[in-house]
Structure 1
């Protein structure tokens, strides 16, 4: 087992705290908390003014990729836009009494769809048919977008449904009499 040293250049206003079994990275857009597993606990963090050095075994390459993505993503937002396509489709966002963000989507169903938004994600309705999902955790943003998209199956004959912003709508040809 040979040791290697990886050096990361820190972006200004980024702070890293190693507390118990957690690595807390605080950036301009928010904070990310990473729970250290046993292989990551063997890594020695060396913090200086603007650099972070890791002394680790070569077996921990996956943790190195995770840390690399955490340091990049804590200072920028990841976002996905969803389009509602169909007559009467609309959406809006409100906060409930517990200051929890709630997304309501009205589509062809008898009841409106209600989504409770996690704290790490923010949802904006740019207009009634355009939803912007934003957060610093890429996995949370993608999971919420997929959950919303799968709430209603798309109609390939009429072009109705919930689509990603750049998704191509493939319409099928209807029956000919």
Structure 2
């Protein structure tokens, strides 16, 4: 049995939950998120808590129960507090700036890379090397950060590239040289 799926999701007082069949929508001070639930699962509201239960007892359904519970919990946290990730750009001459709905990355290529900012994402640039990405949708936030990081992944020799703030790059030793 899924241990995560069994746990109820506490709902703060200022958040509105609307369950219609297999669709759930969560509305809070930061916005509104919607998700469709699998037909094998049942979502119910009881005493300011959301419960996810199985309609059958298969191993597949039980696995989706825990995932669905986590997704709904992320929706509740997102509309209440929001999510934030920080990316760091390292390298000589590497610069980042925003203009309108575009993020411009100068990361060692002959031309700057224009990255369109998706709807529902807020990007702030601190200085020239820190990108702060914020959203109420955790899934969209992670996908956007991964796409930005993909423009110039950190390389293992000098550590140049775009990395997450808490990411540790394992550095490799360069050539030994002519020490014969």
Q: TM-score, normalised to structure 1's length?
A: 0.76
Question: What do the CA deviations read for 1:127-170 (whole angstroms, capped 9, x no partner)?
Answer: 21100111122222221111111212433333311122122342
Q: CA deviation at 1:108?
A: 0.9
RMSD of Structure 2 on Structure 1 (CA): 2.7
Secondary structure of the 1:145 match is helix
- Asked if residue 149 in structure 1 is aligned to residue 149 in structure 2, the reply is yes
- Contiguous gaps of at least 5 residues in structure 2: 1-5
State the alpha-carbon separation in 1 of the partners of residues 129 and 69 from structure 2: 40
User: In proportion to residue count, which structure has more strand?
Assistant: 1
State the alpha-carbon separation in 2 of the partners of residues 46 and 153 from structure 1: 43
**Count of residues in Structure 1 that have an aligned counterpart in Structure 2:** 165
Secondary structure of the 1:114 match is strand
Task: Give the 3 Å change call, closer, same or farther, for CA 8–144 of structure 1 in structure 2.
Answer: closer
Is the deviation greater in 56-65 or in 156-165? 56-65
State the alpha-carbon separation in 1 of the partners of residues 95 and 35 from structure 2: 36
Equivalent residue for 2:98, pick from 93, 96, 120: 93
Task: Give the 3 Å change call, closer, same or farther, for CA 47–150 of structure 1 in structure 2.
Answer: same
Q: TM-score, normalised to structure 2's length?
A: 0.75
Task: Give the 3 Å change call, closer, same or farther, for CA 68–165 of structure 1 in structure 2.
Answer: closer
